[in-house]
Amino acid sequence: MPTGSRHEVVALSVKLEVLTQDKLKKFIFGLTKSKEEDIVKWAMDFAMLDRTGPSTAFAEVLKLDVALDLKKIPVEAVEVTATKGLNKSQVNYARTVIAADADKLRAGRIKAERMQRTAAGLINARNG
Amino acid sequence: MASLLVLLLVGLAALAEPCLIRRIDYRGPFRLLPPGAKARVEQAVPIRPGSPWLETGRGALAVAIRDALAGMGEEPALSAVSLGATPCDNGQTDLTIYLFTTRLLAGSPRWRIDPRLRFDRGDGMVGGGALQLQPSPFLGLRIEGAGGAGFLDRAIAAAGSSMGFAYAAGLRHRDEPLGDERLRSGYGYGWVSGRAAGLRYGLQFEQGYQLAERYRAAKALLGYSAAGFTGALGVQYGDATAGAYRKTVFDASYARNLRLADHRFVSLDWRVNGGWLPAAAAPSGERFFGGMRDRRFSEIPGIELRAAPRLRSFGSNRFQLAAAGHERFLASNLTVGLTAWRMPLLPREVSSAPDFAGQIEAGKGTIAATLESYHEGKDPVMKNIEPLAQELSPLLKPLLDHPDELCAESADRLDGALAKAIENRIFGSLPRTVPDCGSQPPIEAILAQIHHQLTRVDRKSIEQRAHQDARLALRAIDILTRELNLFAIEPIFVYDHAAAHNRRGSLSRASVGGGLRFSIASTLGFEIGYAFTANSNPGESAGALFLALRITDLFR
């Protein structure tokens, strides 16, 4: 570990990979904290991979990256999401509505303000 | 596959003069990692001395370093990265990158070494190990050797796996003390094993000799393991010089870590095993001899099946009546440990970070929901919804150029979501993504039909499948964050009881003792202790020192 009082930890990340007993599925879980422009951000990534036999190559069947700064959304429902994580309705919303707009944002077809409006719908999606 | 990015904050890059990186210091157990590991990490870092140290992208940098060692093995692995920086001084900063990964404990998918070390009064000090070379999944080589003053065991085998089956063929020779005599045995063997419905099964054929007697045998095994519990049954049909014989053994165990506090727990191992050998025709080496050493029923890995009673206050093969072995036995072994000192594997910078525990809990909730979403997409009802979703897209096209911006944006949002929904078979969020364009009866009618179809989904089955997948992932996260210790020392308490019988009589003894266990990464344990025989007779072992290396399941 970095030692000495002069160093400040500005980012950290942990990753866990685990295989099922039959070696046919693999789960990858990651958690990352970073301090950028004096704002602390947490990001989570999760992926599931599977394969047909123990000696064949894995293929990714599910991947979710979530980077949330929930403190920026003044909604009481945020608290439940912050403590319990996303529920299935929110994951469905993220894997369809947000994923589609994120692709458009990357391609320059929509502006960041539209992306923010779409992403803000994630909190209300909890009750969907 | 769905890939998405949720961004609720879009920051602006700092406009101030950037601080330049003066020095990058890499720290971590790189010497213990496979060759080339440090080079892979350095390549993953896109910055060099002289590069600007930006206020943004630091999390992405930590992730890139963390992932640099991905794909180096298939064992359960934990990687942790910490980035430290000094305050900007005269426009410069020093960066420290610390990396820890359990890859260093995992060996390589192509080779593996399992060390062996143990001591007991019967065999003396025994050291050795096993080397497994696996250049291809289909065929590899395993060489084993363990020996000491009174014991020798050596084996060689070719092993591999294909089409869901594991297989091996090899030779083994063993020379061990048996009271005042020697028991020499050797055999050639071949086995095949597979899995079905949570069970593991195997067949082994062997032919060889035990002392001067020749024999051949077929062994059938069935095993089950889940959540710390293992159970196995084995039956052997043999043919020896004196005739045919049958041997049956069973073995059940339960292992659990009961958490007391942060990275401190009571470890519990309890095992019961027994065996029957009714025929007198069996070679003498097939009879049940008890003592300190484990005696495996077969060569098949993954099915834990002991073929002898274990009593830690007796030397190996010394728990017997008149050097004749036994025809049936029942034994129980209990080992309880308590974490007295430990160094958690997760770096303190990570575990003590504010909100870390809360973020882990939220992450677990998201994982469970994600797996539920994935399995919902596999429900047969989704096939009915797909054509409905495809009917929607043409109805949205006229709305995309609607003069009302709110209407056009919401229609475009639903149109994009449709493509993702069809790709991943996730339709649950569509009914609530109605375009904000006033009344649109055709669109609303289709969304209502989708909503109706969604009510027919088999929720119970989806939840069960998601729970089954999530169980391992969530348990692994708990182990990572709350249990896994890099080093730990535990006082241990042991209690064994065994009862055995042959035609000359019966023998029932109990062992009680204690000692210390030193463990690395909560999996490799070195145990040393002493066990007393609680009810020994004159001339029998009153107690024995035990010393052993043991590998325990991380996910017990």
Q: Domains for chain B: give ranges and CATH numbers.
A: 19-106 (3.10.20.310), 111-344+487-551 (2.40.160.50), 357-479 (no CATH)
Q: How many CB atoms lie within 10 A of CB B488?
A: 25
Instruction: Quote the CA–CA distance of A111 and B405 in Å, as a whole number.
Output: 13
Which of B64-73, B307-316, B463-472 comes out lowest in average pLDDT? B64-73
Token pair recorded at residue B481: 């964050």
Look at A95 and B428 and tell me if their CB atoms are within 8 Å. Answer: no
Total Cβ atoms within 10 A of residue B261 = 8
Average pLDDT over residues B61-66: 84
Query: What residues contact residue B89 under an 8 Å CB cut-off, 6+ apart?
Result: none
Tokens of B373: 């979403």
**pLDDT for the residue numbered B556:** 54
Residues 6+ apart with CB under 8 A from B90: none
pLDDT of residue B236: 97
Q: What ipTM does this complex have?
A: 0.80
What are the φ/ψ torsions at residue B128 (nearest 5 degrees)? 160, -155
Choice between B314 and B164, residue whose per-residue pLDDT is larger: B314
Nearest CA in chain B to A13: B81
Q: A109 Cβ partners below 8 Å, 6+ apart?
A: none
Pick B34 or B397 by higher pLDDT. Answer: B397
Residue B47 has a pLDDT of 83
Round to whole Å and give the CA distance between A47 and B418: 23
A29:B473 CB<8 A: yes
Higher-pLDDT residue of B232, B360: B232
| DSSP strand pairing (B77-85 vs A8-19) | antiparallel
pLDDT of residue B284 exceeding 80, the answer is yes
Tell me the longest C-alpha to C-alpha distance in chain A.
51
Measured in angstroms, the CA of B282 and the nearest CA of chain A are apart by 36
Q: In chain B, positions 450-509, which contact chain A (CB-CB < 8 Å)?
A: 469, 472-473, 476-477, 480
- In whole angstroms, what is the distance from residue B218 CA to residue B204 CA? 6
Distance CA B270, CA B498 (A): 14
CB proximity under 8 Å: A 62-101 to B: 62-70, 72-73, 81-101
The verdict on B50 touching A (C-beta cutoff 8 Å) is no
pLDDT of residue A76: 60
Q: Does A111 contact B at CB distance below 8 Å?
A: no
Task: Take residue A125 and report the two structure tokens written for it.
Answer: 């999606």
pLDDT band, very low/low/confident/very high, at B156 (cuts 50, 70, 90): very high
Query: Which of the pair, A77 or B325, is modelled with greater confidence?
Result: B325
Measured distance CA(B401)–CA(B415) in Å, rounded: 13
CA distance B92 to B97: 16
More confident residue, B352 or B315: B315
B78 and A14 in contact by Cβ < 8 A?
yes
Which has more pLDDT, B268 or B541? B268
Please answer yes or no on whether A10 and B376 come within 8 Å at the CB atom.
no
* Closest in A18, A115, A119 to B76, CB measured: A18
Q: State how far the Cα of B275 lies from the Cα of B176, in Å rounded to an integer.
A: 21
Of A64-68, A71-75, B154-158, B388-392, least confident by mean pLDDT is: A71-75
pLDDT band at B361 (very low <50, low <70, confident <90, very high): confident
* Residue B15: predicted pLDDT: 42
Question: What band does B74 get if pLDDT is binned at 50, 70 and 90?
Answer: low
Cβ within 8 Å, pair B76-A2? no
Residue B477 DSSP class: H
Mean pLDDT of chain B: 85
Output the pLDDT for position B524: 80
Mean pLDDT of the region B414-443: 86
- For residue B141, is pLDDT > 90? yes
Question: Cα dihedral sign for B56, A120, B356, B345?
Answer: negative
Among B10, B79, B195, the residue with its CB nearest the CB of A15 is B79
**Of B47, B229, B373, which to mutate for an interface test with A (greatest number of A Cβ within 10 Å)?**
B373
Condensed to tens digits (0 to 9), the pLDDT of residues B447-484 reads 889 989 999 999 999 999 888 888 878 887 888 777 88
With bands split at pLDDT 50, 70 and 90, how would you rate the model's confidence at A66? Answer: confident
- Residue bearing the bigger pLDDT, B157 or B86: B157
How far are the Cα atoms of A102, B201, B252, B302 from residue B231, in angstroms, in the given order? 50, 12, 4, 11
Residue B113 pLDDT: 81
B2 touches chain A (CB under 8 A): yes
CA of B167 vs chain A CAs: smallest distance (Å): 13
Of A10, A63, A95, Cβ closest to residue B373: A95
* pLDDT higher than 70, residue B2: no
Check if B359 contacts A (Cβ < 8 Å).
yes
* Euclidean distance between CA atoms B7 and A72, whole angstroms: 11
Within 10 Å of residue B229's Cβ, how many Cβ atoms? 13
What are the CA-CA distances from residue B291 to residues A117, B319, B383, B497 (Å)?
A: 71, 5, 61, 11
Check pLDDT > 50 for residue B84: yes
> Could A63 and B361 be called an inter-chain contact, meaning their C-beta atoms sit closer than 8 Å?
no
Rg, chain A, Cα only: 18
- As a whole number, mean pLDDT of residues A111-127 equals 83
CA A82 – CA A45 distance, rounded (Å): 15
Flag whether residue B71 sits within 8 Å of chain A, measured between CB atoms: no
Predicted confidence (pLDDT) at residue A72 exceeds the cutoff of 60: no
- The whole-number average pLDDT for the span A54-75 is 68
Burial of B442 (0-12, 13-18, 19+ CB in 10 A): exposed
Beta carbons of A41 and B347 less than 8 Å apart: no
* C-alpha–C-alpha distance, residues B67 and A87, integer Å: 27
Q: Are strands B181-196 and B19-27 parallel, antiparallel or unpaired?
A: unpaired
> What is the average per-residue pLDDT within A31-48?
79
Count contacts between A and B (CB, < 8 Å): 305
- At B207-240, the pLDDT tens digits run 999 988 899 999 999 999 877 889 999 999 999 9
Name residues 9-48 of chain B within 8 A of A (Cβ). 9-11, 14, 25, 27
Q: Give the B window 235-264 contacts with A, CB below 8 Å.
A: none
The whole-number pLDDT of residue B75 equals 60
Q: Return the closest-CA partner of residue B528 out of B495, B496, B490, B554.
A: B490
Helical (H) or strand (E) element with B134: strand B124-136
Under a CB-based contact definition with an 8 Å cutoff, are residues B134 and B140 in contact? yes
Whole-number Å distance between alpha carbons of B114 and B131: 7
- The reply to whether the predicted model has a pTM over 0.90 is no
Measured between beta carbons, which residues in chain B are less than 8 angstroms from residue A40?
Answer: 354-355
Beta-carbon contacts of residue B206 (< 8 Å; ≥ 6 apart): B187, B188, B189, B190, B216, B217, B219
Q: Residue B11 pLDDT more than 60?
A: no
A46, A93 Cβ separation under 8 angstroms = no
State the pLDDT confidence band at B76, using cuts at 50, 70 and 90. Answer: low
For residue B353, give the DSSP letter. Answer: S
Q: Which two tokens stand for residue A61?
A: 């069947």
Scanning the structure block, which residue is given the tokens 């630091």?
A: B58
Whether the predicted pLDDT of A1 surpasses 70 = no
Chain A residues whose CB is inside 8 A of the B161 CB are 54-55
Q: Indicate if the pLDDT at residue A21 is higher than 80.
A: no
- What are the residues facing B162 on neighbouring strands? B165
Chain A residue nearest residue B56, CA to CA: A36
User: Looking at beta carbons, which residues of chain A come within 8 Å of B62?
Assistant: 11-13, 32, 34
Distance between first and last Cα of chain B: 32
Residues of B in contact with A1 (CB under 8 A): 27, 82, 98, 347-349
